[in-house]
């Protein structure tokens, strides 16, 4: 995010060095642990989440959209 902000502010890009598995593993969140511990394969659930409430895309009163994902207190 800081690299994007830097580009927006200065017009110059930056090199970001990160292993692809780190970002993929973060996206998997509890799914990898659930499979590793219990062998549970999750079904499709759309934009919902059973561990984050509220979680989803919601239309606002002025006909715009907002995405909310509350995963911690």
Contacting residues for 22 by C-beta, under 8 A, at least 6 apart: none
37 and 51 belong to one structural domain: no
Report the number of distinct structural domains present in the chain.
2
49 and 37 belong to one structural domain: no
Give me the pLDDT at residue 68, please.
85
Cβ atoms of 33 and 25 closer than 8 Å? no
Instruction: With H, G, I as helix, E, B as strand and everything else as coil, classify residue 59.
Output: strand
Give me the pLDDT at residue 57, please.
86
Contacting residues for 37 by C-beta, under 8 A, at least 6 apart: none
35 and 49 belong to one structural domain: no
28 and 50 belong to one structural domain: no
pLDDT tens digits along 5-24: 999 999 999 998 888 777 77
Give me the pLDDT at residue 47, please.
61
2 and 13 belong to one structural domain: yes
Give me the pLDDT at residue 45, please.
67
34 and 50 belong to one structural domain: no
pLDDT tens digits along 29-49: 777 778 888 888 877 766 666
Could you list the residue range(s) of the whole structural domain that residue 2 is in?
Answer: 1-42
The answer on pLDDT for 61 being more than 90 is yes
Q: How far apart are the first and last CA of the chain?
A: 23
């Amino acid at each position: 995010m800081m690299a994007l902000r830097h580009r927006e502010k200065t017009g110059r890009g930056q090199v970001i060095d990160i292993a692809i598995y780190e970002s993929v593993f973060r996206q998997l969140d509890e799914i990898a642990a659930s499979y590793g511990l219990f062998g549970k394969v999750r079904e499709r659930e759309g934009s919902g989440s059973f561990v984050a409430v509220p979680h989803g895309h919601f239309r606002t009163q002025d006909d715009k959209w907002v995405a909310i994902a509350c995963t911690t207190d």
